[in-house]
Structure 1
Amino acid sequence: MISNLNAANAYNTARQLAAPAHAASSGTAGKLGDAAEEFAAQMARVDSVSTGALTGQVETHQLVQTIAEAELAMETVVAIRDKVVEAYQEILRMPV
């Protein structure tokens, strides 16, 4: 299970990947792919914990914690997407 510290570390890693200094480094695409896979795994955990809570196999506090972690992951992904769109729009505004 992911703790709040792990979620904060994942957010910090994603924030560093979105920074301009890492754009030129090799392996950035691989790191972004890993982050996307980790995000997909987090969403899958939410699904399984939700199902477990509905069937009575998972306690409520674990469900709430998992949903909070998923919310943090979603906010991180949305922030990264916003930065990518902003960078794309900046490139479109450049004179040719």
Structure 2
Amino acid sequence: MTDTQRLRALLGKRLELVQEIARLNARQLKNRQILGGVELEVMQCERDLSPGEDAAVADRLAQARAQCDAVLARLDEDARDLMESHGQLDALDREISKQ
């Protein structure tokens, strides 16, 4: 493989990684938007819940909190995936700079 072919291959890999990072950023943004909606639902339920209140409101609150926890877990996963992809991109950039 010539130097030019190797550089083209590395730049192709870099483009793929940048596209993956863009996809992960979009996924993270979507999950942040979902979290915002779920947090609003939790606040609404907490406001509607009063002592001796309907069990349905308490159930709705529990479900909203569980959704919130699930979205937070997805955001943690997003952060890990982005960190890994950025690390791969940095390594690839170092390799490209040696060319």
TM-score, length basis structure 2: 0.54
The structure whose RCO (Cα within 8 Å, separation 6+) is larger is 2
Q: Kindly tell me: are residues 75 and 64 of structure 1, through their superposed partners in 2, closer, same or farther at Cα, counting changes over 3 Å?
A: same
Over the residues paired in the alignment, what is the CA RMSD in angstroms? 3.2
The code of the aligned residue for 1:67 comes to R
Q: Kindly tell me: are residues 45 and 81 of structure 1, through their superposed partners in 2, closer, same or farther at Cα, counting changes over 3 Å?
A: same
Q: Which runs of 5+ in 1 are unaligned?
A: 1-19
* Shift in Å, 1:41: 1.2
Pick the aligned partner of 1:46 from 42, 48, 72. Answer: 42
Q: Which stretch has the larger CA shift, 74-83 or 49-58?
A: 49-58
Aligned length, in residue pairs: 74
The 5 Å alignment of 1:1-96 reads 23=19, 33-54=29-50, 56=53, 59-94=57-92, 95=95, 96=97
Q: Which runs of 5+ in 2 are unaligned?
A: 1-15
Q: Kindly tell me: are residues 88 and 30 of structure 1, through their superposed partners in 2, closer, same or farther at Cα, counting changes over 3 Å?
A: closer
The code of the aligned residue for 1:70 comes to C
Larger radius of gyration: 2
Distance of 1:83 and 1:30 partners within structure 2: 12
Q: How many percent identity over aligned positions? A: 7
The code of the aligned residue for 2:70 comes to L
Distance of 2:27 and 2:82 partners within structure 1: 15
More helix by share: 2
